[in-house]
Amino acid sequence: MKFNIALLAGDGIGPEVIDQAVKVSDAVAKKFGHEITWKPALTGAAAIDAVGEPYPDETHAVCAASDAVLFGAIGHPKYDNDPSAPVRPEQGLLKMRKKLGLFANVRPTFTFPSLLDKSPLKKERIEGTDLVFLRELTGGIYFGEKGRRDNGETAYDNCVYTREEVQRLAKKGFELAMTRRKKLCCVDKANVLETSRLWRETVQAMEKDYPEVEVSYEFVDAVAMRLVQWPNSYDVLITENLFGDILTDEASVISGSMGLMPSASMGADIALFEPIHGSYPQATGQNIANPMATVLSAAMMFETAFNLPEEGKAIRDAVNKALAEGVVTEDLAEGGKAYGTKEVGDWLAANI
């Protein structure tokens, strides 16, 4: 098969980790007889510096014309702590999600037995954890009307959801649960918010179409607790944009494997794949960043966007082998030899 893949390296360590994912994907393509054409495009602070815009129209055109998007990370310290900066890298991210229609952010949290000790949680709490968040990504308070009144003394943000937006996200949640342990948790704040009541009633009405799925409804504050107490009690969780932002990040640190967690953002026509870690500006250009989350994001791309599970498995197997043999960057080296970003990428590509 032939694929065009938009390549958005972004800021900080983004370009370095993306390079490794390209190398590994090319090795997979070679082995399985596919042909990948990479289409690099600018995004984030890098794009602001170059053309004054974090998600330029040319970048959107490249993405929209591709079969999938592989994304590094964005964010640069020069834009932090300046609430009034006219353009910020994050705006590019939000614009990209909206314009590509990436309404479902898929965020798995799972454990690697060899990394359990890295978790801040006790082993017996985290063992066996294998959950997935589906976060709604193009609605809610992120995209509602916002602004100031009373001469800037009053600020407001509007959170809005339509039943249709909830349905399309929940549908993905039910379907995903059917391929897994058939448990779905709807996370909301229906005791306070009207949007949450819409979420809850919409999901309740869909239950009858998936009689095998066991559905629970939990308040966002309760989930924030239970994720730390009994993360392995969850299977699939669905939630709105802001709650998902907070809870997926909380979930990411419990496994001890944050540097390895991939993610996908899916729309009707296209999907984007990216590591969940940030742009780690401090590590930029030092060849120390862990490329495995980006490489595993490429695995998700083969599996989800191209429906090629074998290809994805080849990548996962190589990563597991690297972990078992200690071919890891310094964050996982535990006093043993630390490999460089590039060396880990080379090793993975050679072991496909």
Q: Among all residues, which ones are annotated catalytic?
A: 142, 189, 221, 245, 249
Q: Give the nearer residue to ligand IPM in terms of CB position, either 191 or 282.
A: 191
Which of the choices a second copy, ligand IPM, none does residue 243 contact, using the CB cut-off of 5 to 8 A by kind? a second copy
Residue 267: closest CA among 152, 100, 118, 133 = 100
55 binds a second copy (CB under 8 A): no
> What is the SS3 assignment for 24?
helix
Count the neighbouring beta carbons within 10 Å of the beta carbon of residue 274. 28
Among residues 41, 42, 69, 93, which is the contact residue for ligand IPM, using CB under 6 A? 93
305 secondary structure, DSSP code: I
The contact mask relative to a second copy for 222-241 (x = CB under 8 A, - = no) is x-xx-xxx------------
205 binds a second copy (CB under 8 A): no
191 binds ligand IPM (CB under 6 A): yes
> What is the SS3 assignment for 9?
strand
> What is the SS3 assignment for 73?
strand
194 binds a second copy (CB under 8 A): yes
Radius of gyration, alpha carbons of the chain:
20
Which of the choices ligand IPM, a second copy, none does residue 61 contact, using the CB cut-off of 5 to 8 A by kind? none
Instruction: Output phi, psi for 297, to 5 deg.
Output: -65, -35
Q: Give the nearer residue to a second copy in terms of CB position, either 36 or 115.
A: 115
Residue 337's Cβ-count burial label (10 Å; 0-12, 13-18, 19+) is exposed
33 binds a second copy (CB under 8 A): no
DSSP H or E stretch at residue 280: none
Residue 223: closest CA among 212, 238, 210 = 238
**What would the DSSP string read from start to end of 242-277?**
HHHHHHHHHHHHHSS-GGG-EEEEE-SS-EEEEESS
Alpha-carbon distances, residue 336 vs 106, 115, 331 (angstroms): 33, 14, 11
Cα(157)–Cα(144) distance, rounded to whole angstroms?
7
178 binds a second copy (CB under 8 A): no
Give least dist CB 92 to ligand IPM, A.
9
Q: In which residue are the tokens 């990563």 written? A: 319
Among residues 90, 130, 214, 346, which is the contact residue for ligand IPM, using CB under 6 A? 90
157 binds ligand IPM (CB under 6 A): no
Q: Give the nearer residue to a second copy in terms of CB position, either 180 or 183.
A: 183
Among residues 55, 243, 280, 302, which is the contact residue for a second copy, using CB under 8 A? 243
Q: Total binding residues for ligand IPM by CB under 6 A?
A: 7
Residue 249 assigned to a binding site: yes
Tokens representing 321? 């082998």
Q: Give the nearer residue to a second copy in terms of CB position, either 100 or 126.
A: 126
Residue 150 assigned to a binding site: no
Residue 107 assigned to a binding site: yes
Q: Using CB under 6 A, which of the segments 15-23, 86-94, 116-124, 166-174 binds ligand IPM?
A: 86-94
Residue 221 assigned to a binding site: yes
Contact between residue 265 and residue 6 where contact means Cβ atoms under 8 Å apart: no
Tokens representing 112? 């690697």
Positions touching a second copy (CB under 8 A) are 81, 83-84, 88, 90, 94, 120-122, 125, 141-142, 144, 146-148, 150, 153-164, 189-198, 200-201, 217, 220-222, 224-225, 227-229, 242-243, 245-250, 252-254
Positions touching ligand IPM (CB under 6 A) are 90, 93-94, 191-192, 221, 245
